[in-house]
Amino acid sequence: MKSLIILISGRGSNMQALLEANLDVDNITVISNNPSATGLAIAKRFGVQTVVIDHRTYPDRITFDTALAAEIDRCEADLIALAGFMRILTDGFVNHFQGRLINIHPSLLPAFPGLGTHARALHEGVKIHGCTVHFVTPQVDHGPIIIQAAIPVLFDDTEETLAARILQQEHLIYAQAVRWFMADKLKCSHNHVSIDDMTICEPILYSPGLQH
Ligand code: GAR
């Protein structure tokens, strides 16, 4: 029995990509900290169990994280995938799930952690931008990198066009990372993730080609 928990706060397009990916899992639960997250309706359409744990009803970060951790433990999750979960997690939470907590971030980490990644990439004039799936450590948007996708930044890109092309790649690499994890193909030593998959020759960079 493999169990996946997907944590969302809003739109849920990465969650949807995981739900559409035909993953080899027996149980998926979607948890949102935001009762208005549009991703909740999408999850229900897929017939997936949804849970809302509204952070605004908890007095502080620690009590919210404790309730969230209890729900995840109750589901006996093998893997917890943060998919646009816009909450800073306490060290206690992160350490409790170390090695089975992953995140997707819209930049080529360690560049541009935090918010506004596409605007900052355009402002800096980078020529390559992308997205990263990584194991979560207490430092926000850091941690051992599992897979990245890189795309060229085009001369006429806006924040919106760049975000849209990167989101397509996010959907591909997140499903790939979860597949590897569930197939027990990821080995993490110190800050390095190796992938035991003979079908790929360049495991940590997913390069989709020059898609416009
Ligand atoms: C995605 O772009 C994801 O990478 C980003 O939020 C968006 C959520 O979209 N996550 C972060 O910035 C985390 N630091 P989605 O709800 O449609 O998946």
Active-site entry in 96, 105, 118, 123: 105
| pLDDT at site 198 | 64
> pLDDT (tens digit, 9 = 90+) per residue, 31-73?
999 999 999 999 999 999 999 999 999 999 999 999 999 999 9
DSSP-derived secondary structure letter, 154: P
**Active site annotation includes 129:** no
Kindly list the protein residues whose Cβ atom lies closer than 6 A to any atom of ligand 1: 8, 10-14, 39, 83-84, 104-106, 141, 167, 170
Break the chain into its structural domains and give their ranges. Answer: 1-97, 103-212
My answer on whether omega of the bond before 203 falls inside 30° of 0, hence cis, is: no
Superfamily for domain range 103-212: Formyl transferase, N-terminal domain (3.40.50.170)
* Measured distance CA(193)–CA(196) in Å, rounded: 10
pLDDT one-digit tens code per residue, 103-145: 999 999 999 999 999 999 999 999 999 999 999 999 999 999 9
pLDDT range class, residue 212, cuts 50, 70, 90? very low
Q: What is the pLDDT of residue 205?
A: 55
Span from the CA of 106 to the centroid of ligand 1 (angstroms): 7
- For 1-97, CATH gives 3.40.50.170
Q: Which atom of ligand 1 is nearest to the CA of 9?
A: 16
Q: Is 115 exposed, middle or buried (0-12, 13-18, 19+ CB in 10 A)?
A: exposed
pLDDT bucket at 210, cuts 50 / 70 / 90: very low
Instruction: Identify which of 188, 11, 30, 33 has the alpha carbon closest to the alpha carbon of residue 99.
Output: 188
* Angle CA 175–180–183, to nearest 5: 120
